[in-house]
Amino acid sequence: MDFLIKFAQTHESFRRAEIEALAVIEGVDLQVIQYTNECPFCIVRVPSIEDAQRLVRRSILAQSIHELWGSGASLDELHQSVQVRTGHLWPDYESPSFKFLFDSFQGTRTSAQRLSIINSFSYLPFEGPIRMSGPDNVFTVFEQWQCDSVPLGIENPDMVHFGRFVASTSRDAVLKFDLKKRGYISTTSMDSELALVTANIALAAPGKLFYDPFVGTGSFPLACAHFGAMGWGSDIDGRSIRGEGGRKSLEGNFVQYGLKSCLGDMFAADLTNTPIKVGARIWDGIVCDPPYGVREGLRVLGLRDPEKTPWLIEKGIKKSGLPDYVPPKKPYSFLAMLDDILDFASRTLVEGGRLSFWMPTANDEEQEIPVPSHPCLELVTVCVQDFNKWSRRLITYQRLPDDRVSKESLEMYETRRGVVHTGTTADELNPFRRGYFKKFETID
């Protein structure tokens, strides 16, 4: 059966990735028939109406799904399509109440034109009452117009679809988790919409363990917990986890949303100094937004030169257990951080588990940071949020089964990882930071 998904006109490059991930979660056999980022209407094929309902029930970027009754480049073609495709369905809709709606993208109709088009469907044997509030069935005419059709005076759309409403989505969760309503946030907290989309693309679901190694105030574990997963996390600075305590803490956020039962544990650590046993395949998913190192250089736990500061080692031994102890940190390479994220994921994800993390890059091809790779991880999708001269990408990988990992590729990767990223200043260790403060101007 063919259906039309109406997407929200936002985060266009994320929409298909999310709906395909939801098909995996729900076990729905999905075929995308027609879709472009430039249009919010997506034609898909799934086996049944029940599958269509399951496909979108937890979607954040979709608004609704409709049983597709017909499509055409003109109104006459649309009517012909409806008559050919759905004549056998008409008896089921003779007596129930109904109403008609219009959804025009990049175009508009006058009230008189809309009424005329609605009347053109008079061949449908609908004898039930028309109810504008709470009808049994809602039929929508979807019109796709050329860009700037109104100022250009274009009279007709490029494509017209006709569908019956089947189900709405979980887009209202965006407002529920809105940062403005959250008790504890920071300047780097990921907005609710993108956090929820990330959780969907990473396949968060009940019975799964999800981990954020840069947890901050907990936006990603919260989003994963909303979909039933158990959220875990760590941060190099434990103060961001503890906050002021009570409602003003990461735990307080889980309590606010009634998700305390989905909170695993949070602890202070970084990927290079973690209590998690490397090689323990425990995570079903890893989701994170690593620091970009713009406000200040990237850091990891440790000392720049332990031999010159032995007293700091002694201080750490004596005071590391105190709640107000802040461990020393040393400079960290941005590229090394990317490698460490992928390596950690390859060693701790279960087979088929996903890593979804955000990575900034310049839009200029000469300064663009390439998408990192790992022989144990298969690239699933790359979604882009553009900010003029730079953008950030949500990169998603899937852990390959061990028997599909090439030993030769793995050995070559380990050799490459042995190369030390040199530099002493924040700019030397972070090509994105260097380009950011130079406004990504191309160097001749």
pLDDT in tens, the chain (444 residues): 999 999 999 999 999 999 999 999 999 999 999 999 999 999 999 999 999 999 999 999 999 999 999 999 999 999 999 999 999 999 999 999 999 999 999 998 999 999 999 999 999 999 999 999 999 999 999 999 998 888 888 888 999 999 999 999 999 999 999 999 999 999 889 999 999 999 999 999 999 999 999 999 999 999 999 999 999 999 998 889 999 999 999 999 999 999 999 999 999 898 888 999 878 899 999 999 999 877 767 888 888 777 788 888 788 778 777 777 778 888 888 888 999 999 999 999 999 999 999 999 888 777 888 899 999 999 999 999 998 889 999 999 999 999 999 888 888 888 877 665 656 666 666 778 778 777 777 654
Alpha-carbon distance of 98 to 85, in angstroms, equals 20
Q: Which helix (H) or strand (E) holds 21?
A: helix 12-26
- Give residue-wise pLDDT tens across range 264-286: 999 989 888 899 987 889 999 99
Tokens 């969907």 correspond to 200
pLDDT score recorded for residue 341: 95
pLDDT score recorded for residue 1: 94
What is the side-by-side strand order in the sheet with 230-235? 263-268, 230-235, 209-212, 283-288, 349-362, 390-399, 377-387
Torsion (CA) 415, 416, 421, 422 in degrees, nearest 10: 70
pLDDT score recorded for residue 48: 97
pLDDT score recorded for residue 444: 46
Nearest to 334 by CA among 253, 423, 273, 247: 423
Alpha-carbon distance of 209 to 228, in angstroms, equals 10
pLDDT score recorded for residue 443: 52
pLDDT score recorded for residue 427: 66
Cβ neighbours of 44 (radius 10 Å):
25
Residue ranges and CATH numbers for the domains of the chain are 2-169 (3.30.2130.30), 174-298+333-439 (3.40.50.150)
End-to-end, the C-alpha distance of the chain in Å comes to 55
pLDDT score recorded for residue 223: 98
Q: Which helix (H) or strand (E) holds 69?
A: strand 62-72
Structure tokens at 288: 């994170």
* Three-state SS at 374: strand
Alpha-carbon distance of 375 to 411, in angstroms, equals 9
Task: Please give the backbone phi and psi of residue 437, each rounded to the nearest 5 degrees, phi first.
Answer: -80, -15
pLDDT score recorded for residue 23: 98
Nearest to 358 by CA among 216, 171, 250: 216
- Give residue-wise pLDDT tens across range 24-38: 999 999 999 999 999
Nearest to 340 by CA among 269, 257, 388: 269
Alpha-carbon distance of 301 to 187, in angstroms, equals 22
**320, amino acid identity:** S
